[in-house]
A and B are shown apart, each in its own frame.
Chain A
Amino acid sequence: MTVHNLYVFDRAGTCLHYSEWHRRKPPGISQEEEFKLMFGMLFSIRSFVAKMSPVDMRDGFLCFQTSKYKLHYYETPTGLRFVLTTDLGVGSARDALQHLYSNIYVELVVKNPLCPLGEPVQSELFRSRLDAFVRALPFFSARAA
């Protein structure tokens, strides 16, 4: 089991944070383009899913998988989006993403007066804590780390 990468977007579509661990395929487009494409896809999936659903939804879109990876999605009521891609063997990463939001993002970014909201997070502490948290996840593999 592996974790490939993590994106954090705010409600306006700015990528606040990006980190990758085991990513074997280069994106082929510039990083900025990639963030836009990812945010655009999630935005469309959200509206697609809201239209398709046969009954009223609560959480909405949770995850999708292809033949090679699985994308986990968690959205806070304020519109922050946490996106984690892993391999197919991982079950639900919802709790991990929720923890990431409430115990890492809120503690180290929202409560940090030096971090302006709505801009990419520069805080070194946030980066290192986040990295340590993801590396400690049960489905983060040690190989190729």
Chain B
Amino acid sequence: MAIFSVYVVNKAGGLVYQLDHYAPRAEAEKTFGFPLDLALKVHDERVVVAFGQRDGIRVGHAVLAINGADVSGRFTADGRDVLELLSNPAHYPVSIRFGRPRLSSNEKLMLASMFHSLFAIGSQLSPEPGSSGIEMLETDTFKLHCFQTLTGIKFVVLADPRQAGIDSLLRKIYEIYSDFALKNPFYSLEMPIRCELFDQNLKLALEVAEKAGPFGPGP
């Protein structure tokens, strides 16, 4: 049971708040000799595996660290190009850590506005009159729950498919938003939320919701 992350999207589709609550680790570290028996390519400013799935390293996984030092995008911490570094036999044997690429803040902004439009299209394609947008989206690895307030703010929670009590959590987040963001005199509407109390209370609410588990209080 887990709640993965929370997004708050304003009525224009802009991301105003995002929190990663729990990120499951899906990483594999392995030592390689020259030549590297994986095909790597640059995709979206990251070095990802293009071919050669093995030992928990899967196609689409990104290079996260080389010899224990973190890699940011295509470059190592000291500014060297990852592909160049790995094409030089002198650097071998080398230990590389692979894993699912983590979302950059830019990608989060993009995904939030993407969801904003999917939400609208979902309601337009409804076969029944008077439908709202997407309220729950299910995949085999997570469920996305969305609650849109009357003023158009969307609260989106990504959780484990078996996690219950998300509906009441979404109402609770709305309450926290009203109490600690809207009532904060330094908060300007539609702008990114940077309020310490909002952060604290949100984290608390997430923990409570997680503990409540599959038999938690319903909506």
Interface residues, chain A, with chain B CB atoms under 8 Å away: 4-5, 20, 22-25, 27-28, 34, 37-38, 40-41, 44-45, 48-49, 51-69, 71, 85, 87
The verdict on A66 contacting B121 (CB below 8 Å), with A48-B111, A51-B111 known, is no
Inter-chain contacts of A61 with B (CB < 8 A): 137-139
B129 at the interface (CB under 8 A from A): yes
Structural contact, B100 and A68, CB atoms closer than 8 A: no
B19 at the interface (CB under 8 A from A): no
B189 at the interface (CB under 8 A from A): no
Structural contact, B132 and A68, CB atoms closer than 8 A: yes
Inter-chain contacts of B26 with A (CB < 8 A): 55-56
Contact residue among A5, A49, A54 (Cβ-Cβ distance under 8 Å from B4) = A54
The verdict on A67 contacting B135 (CB below 8 Å), with A55-B100, A58-B140 known, is yes
Inter-chain contacts of A59 with B (CB < 8 A): 139-140
Structural contact, A66 and B123, CB atoms closer than 8 A: yes
B24 at the interface (CB under 8 A from A): yes
- B110 CB to closest chain A CB, in angstroms? 9
Structural contact, B141 and A53, CB atoms closer than 8 A: yes
Inter-chain contacts of B134 with A (CB < 8 A): 64-66
Structural contact, B137 and A24, CB atoms closer than 8 A: no
- B52 CB to closest chain A CB, in angstroms? 16
Cα–Cα distance between A5 and B117 once the two chains are bound (Å): 22
Q: Can you give 8 contacting A-B residue pairs, CB < 8 Å?
A: A24-B129, A51-B103, A58-B140, A59-B140, A60-B139, A64-B138, A67-B131, A87-B128
Structural contact, B24 and A54, CB atoms closer than 8 A: yes
Interface residues on B, range: 35 or more
Inter-chain contacts of B137 with A (CB < 8 A): 45, 49, 61, 63-64
The verdict on A57 contacting B121 (CB below 8 Å), with A5-B127, A24-B127, A69-B126 known, is no
The verdict on A44 contacting B141 (CB below 8 Å), with A24-B128, A67-B132 known, is no
B 91-129 to A, binary, CB cutoff 8 A, 1 in contact else 0: 000000000100100010001001101100111111111
B133 at the interface (CB under 8 A from A): yes
Cα–Cα distance between A52 and B140 once the two chains are bound (Å): 12
B158 at the interface (CB under 8 A from A): yes
Inter-chain contacts of A58 with B (CB < 8 A): 140-141
Structural contact, B127 and A23, CB atoms closer than 8 A: yes
- B152 CB to closest chain A CB, in angstroms? 16
Given A4-B127, A68-B126, 9 extra CB contacts under 8 A: A52-B103, A52-B142, A52-B144, A54-B142, A55-B141, A56-B26, A66-B133, A66-B134, A68-B128
